[in-house]
Amino acid sequence: MIDTHAHLADLPEGVVERAKAAGLTGIVAVSANLTTCEGTLRLVREHRGYVHGALGVHPTEFFDQSLEAALEIIRANARECVAVGEIGLDYWHKLVRKDAAMKERQREFYIRQLQAAREVNLPVSIHSRGAWGDCIELASCHGPGRGVFHWYSGPLDVLDEVLDAGYYVSCTPAMELSPELRVAMVKAPLDRVLIETDSPVWIKSLGRESEPADVQLTLRHLAELKGLPMADVYAATTRNAETLFKI
Ligand SMILES: [Zn+2]
């Protein structure tokens, strides 16, 4: 069982040990800006073989970031990492919604990081909120041809395009409350689904923020939704993560 998307650099010490105690066999630590890229690299080195790194600048955090520095850190550390991410587009973000120049800059960050992923031959972890169609279109033009549409809650016709293009989709404990995420996960075949937490995220039923160990919740929800034994979903999603990230 692998948490394929956690903002580990934003989480307190101790969550890695708790993930191990909960039976997780690995964590993919994603980054969102240049500071968390450094934090991710530190965690990868500290927990080698257990914490797997993804570097990149998030579509809601690019405003004060240097694109050239982001591309440089992705290229320079590609051999130590398993993915480029979290990258993508977020057309619902308040600074992008009404500002064409900001939106253009967000797209530039996404496209250049997709190209860097292709260049270093790593899969991408994609945030696509409110921009699902453009995310798959640009990934198909510029990306490495493999990756995951993380926390996919977009329309089902775009889900078809995402799956046809060979991408995985992932789900989080938010399945508990999100009809969009549930509908997408019912439709996506199990051999293309990954589980994750996107931690830290507030989980209402737990009354606290999530951490990687909570990927067990995601697993349970997905098994219920698919009407399959937990063991089958555990095996399939672990295999999917190992295949995509080569871990
Ligand atoms: Zn995330």
- The 3-state DSSP class for residue 53 equals strand
- The 3-state DSSP class for residue 218 equals helix
DSSP 3-state helix, strand, coil percentages of the chain (rounded to 5)? 50, 15, 30
- The 3-state DSSP class for residue 5 equals strand
Contact (Cβ atoms closer than 8 angstroms) between residue 127 and residue 89: yes
Average pLDDT, the chain: 97
Nearest to 137 by CA among 89, 189, 71, 82: 89
- The Å distance, Cα 228 to ligand 1 centre, comes to 27
* pLDDT over threshold 90, residue 26: yes
Nearest to 215 by CA among 12, 24, 58, 63: 24
CATH superfamily entry for domain 2-245:
Metal-dependent hydrolases (3.20.20.140)
Q: Report every protein residue that has its C-beta within 5 angstroms of ion ligand 1.
A: 86, 198
CA distance 139 to 123: 11
What average pLDDT does this structure show over 205-212? 94
- Ranges of each domain in the chain: 2-245
- The Å distance, Cα 223 to ligand 1 centre, comes to 22
CA distance 63 to 66: 9
- The Å distance, Cα 187 to ligand 1 centre, comes to 22
Res 13: pLDDT: 87
* pLDDT over threshold 90, residue 79: yes
- The Å distance, Cα 119 to ligand 1 centre, comes to 23
* pLDDT over threshold 90, residue 60: yes
What average pLDDT does this structure show over 191-207? 95
Res 133: pLDDT: 98
- The Å distance, Cα 66 to ligand 1 centre, comes to 20
CA distance 137 to 155: 14
CA distance 99 to 197: 31
- The Å distance, Cα 40 to ligand 1 centre, comes to 13
Contact (Cβ atoms closer than 8 angstroms) between residue 56 and residue 87: yes
Q: pLDDT digit string (tens) for 210-242?
A: 999 999 999 999 999 999 999 999 999 999 999
Rg of the chain taking only CA atoms, in angstroms:
16
- The Å distance, Cα 26 to ligand 1 centre, comes to 17
What average pLDDT does this structure show over 119-143? 98
- The Å distance, Cα 217 to ligand 1 centre, comes to 17
What is the number of other CB atoms lying within 10 angstroms of the CB of residue 11?
Answer: 22
Tell me, rounded to whole angstroms, the distance of Cα 133 from its chain centroid. Answer: 17
Q: pLDDT digit string (tens) for 97-117?
A: 999 999 999 999 999 999 999
Res 139: pLDDT: 98
CA distance 81 to 41: 8
